[in-house]
């Protein structure tokens, strides 16, 4: 199966919709288009960014919980859970976790760069 960036983007957007994430923000980022959701101003900027991070972490936690549940059900012999379902769920949670870690690293790097700027 060939995976293209368009199909990967569509899958990420579908997962964001299922998790209740901000699809508008993710679409604008993916298309490099300005959006008030992506670039908020004023006091809402911290709240929106904080909420976006909280939603992302909650989504990762939910995916990992679902994966653990599927693994447990598979290990206990549940016939409705296949090894393919378990592996797909494990990959989804792994990719989501890796993406969240990368965002954290980029934010940390940006913070360090800002703090090292002369006043």
For range 73-90, the mean pLDDT: 94
Residue for token digits 């998790």?
19
Q: What is the pLDDT of residue 54?
A: 87
Tell me the pTM.
0.57
What is the 3 state secondary structure string of the chain? CCCCHHHHHHHHHHHHHHHCCCHHHHHHHHCCCCCCCCCCCCCHHHHHHHHHHHHHHHHHHHHHHHHHHHHHHHHCCCCCCCHHHHHHHHHHHHHHHHHHHHHHHHHHHHHHHHHCCCC
Please give the structure tokens belonging to residue 63: 């995916």
pLDDT in tens, 42-52: 555 566 878 88
Sign of CA dihedral 109, 115, 118, 119: positive
Q: What is the pLDDT of residue 32?
A: 41
């Amino acid at each position: 199966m060939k995976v293209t960036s368009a199909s990967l983007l569509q899958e990420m957007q579908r997962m964001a919709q299922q998790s209740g994430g901000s699809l508008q923000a993710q679409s604008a980022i993916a298309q490099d288009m300005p959006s008030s959701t992506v670039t908020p101003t004023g006091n809402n900027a911290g709240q929106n960014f904080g909420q976006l991070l909280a939603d992302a972490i909650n989504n990762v936690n939910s995916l990992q919980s679902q994966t653990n549940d599927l693994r447990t059900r598979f290990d206990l012999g549940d016939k409705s859970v296949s090894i393919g379902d378990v592996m797909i769920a494990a990959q989804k949670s792994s990719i989501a976790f890796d993406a969240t870690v990368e965002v954290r690293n980029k934010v940390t790097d940006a913070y360090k760069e800002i703090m090292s700027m002369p006043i």
